[in-house]
Amino acid sequence: MTDSETGTKEKVLIVDEASAGGRLDAFLAAGMPPHVSRSRVKEIIKQTGVKIGDGVCREPNYRLKEGECITIVIPEPEEAAPVAQNIPLEICHEDEHLLVVNKPAGMVVHPAAGHGEGTLVNALLYHCGDTLAGIGGVKRPGIVHRLDKDTSGLLVVAKDDKTHSGLQAQFADHGRTGPLERQYMAMVWGRFDRISGTINAHLGRSNSNRKKRAVVNPDNREAKEAITHYEVLKEFGTDANGEAIACLVACSLETGRTHQIRVHMSHIGHPLLGDQEYGKHFQTKENTLASPLRESVQAFRRQALHASVLGFEHPVTGEHMRFETPPPADFQALIDAFSI
């Protein structure tokens, strides 16, 4: 059970015949969830103790007896506050309430496992100082929405609670009834039958890889509605059948699911160039390209996706704000390689 005020969790275990005679720390560690290590269990025993029946024990090597009732209280780990780091930012707009940045590809938005430093949050904390602390949470101060690590483009960051709440409401609406506008530029494989269209396909976790997303049946308990509108901006080259090799498309989101554009485009047979997760089945197509285009495509090893347009209503001033940024140099070089 969990104490809702302290966030601590209490676990009760009964020593069976097979466990009798074993160490207390080893017994408890075997009954813990994966994120609670044996060393963490040993630390809890030494610092706060565990109850064996009505008594308290602080000896990790205590030898168990069959039938003993062991109670351990596991405190929730405290979130580590990100550190401020002097990382250059491309700022498109800044006022006392918010700022809009053009995130480079390769930068993680907020700290996570394996990415404790070098994130956009680390850079924002240095740039904004104490004014950003606590806005929207310890690990995501000011963050209203995010982009994948290898997706470049526009992000808005809140500097105060009122702005954060106002922007969150607009992003929750996804522009269906409100002023939010988000548009992405993507380079995808193949030719489209229609110049524009809408992909309406629910997304959930992939059965083959729980870190990935996939199109799933709407009846799936994890299914979430996902809608992407697309428009073909330009076709590039022709293959042996006289059809376009790739297209530059503009994608607008009506929902904001993880990896939405990448999964939707792959689902309809047009995965993004360079997408190592959702476009691997098209990598053999790279080998059919003529040189030097083939070398340019094979050197581009991130999804060709750029958040090019961001529009919203300023939560404090009420002003409609709209920003547009061209693709970064590596993305533009890919476009240029197909244009030759």
Give the C-alpha separation, 50 to 269, whole Å. Answer: 57
Give the C-alpha separation, 131 to 125, whole Å. Answer: 8
> 79-173 and 174-340: same fold?
yes
Give the C-alpha separation, 105 to 102, whole Å. Answer: 10
What is the reported pLDDT for 78?
55
Residue among 16, 95, 130, 148 flagged as catalytic: 148
For residue 12, CA distances in Å to 29, 32, 64, 104, 236 come to: 12, 11, 14, 48, 64
What is the reported pLDDT for 276?
92
Per-residue pLDDT of the chain (340 residues; tens, 9 = 90+): 333 333 457 889 999 998 999 999 999 988 887 667 787 888 889 888 899 998 999 999 999 999 999 999 887 665 567 889 999 999 999 999 999 999 999 999 988 767 778 999 999 999 998 777 666 666 678 899 999 999 999 999 999 989 999 999 999 888 889 999 999 999 999 999 999 999 999 999 888 887 899 999 999 888 999 999 999 999 998 776 777 899 999 999 999 999 999 999 999 999 999 999 999 888 788 888 989 999 999 999 999 999 999 999 999 999 999 999 999 999 999 999 998 7
What is the reported pLDDT for 133?
60
Fold of 174-340: Pseudouridine synthase (3.30.2350)
Pairing, β 305-313 against β 152-158: parallel
DSSP symbol at 108: -
Among the residues of the chain, which ranges form H helices? 24-30, 38-47, 120-128, 161-173, 260-267, 283-286, 293-299, 329-339
Residue with tokens 């929750």: 172
Q: Does domain 9-74 have CATH number 3.10.290.10?
A: yes
The whole model's pTM is what?
A: 0.76
Q: Are the CB atoms for 180 and 167 separated by under 8 Å? A: no
Domain 79-173: CATH superfamily, name plus number = Pseudouridine synthase (3.30.2350.10)
Q: Is 148 a catalytic residue?
A: yes
What is the reported pLDDT for 34?
67
What is the reported pLDDT for 1?
34
Domain boundaries defined on the chain = 9-74, 79-173, 174-340
What is the reported pLDDT for 147?
95
Please, what is the end-to-end C-alpha distance for the chain in angstroms?
64
Q: Are the CB atoms for 202 and 263 separated by under 8 Å? A: no
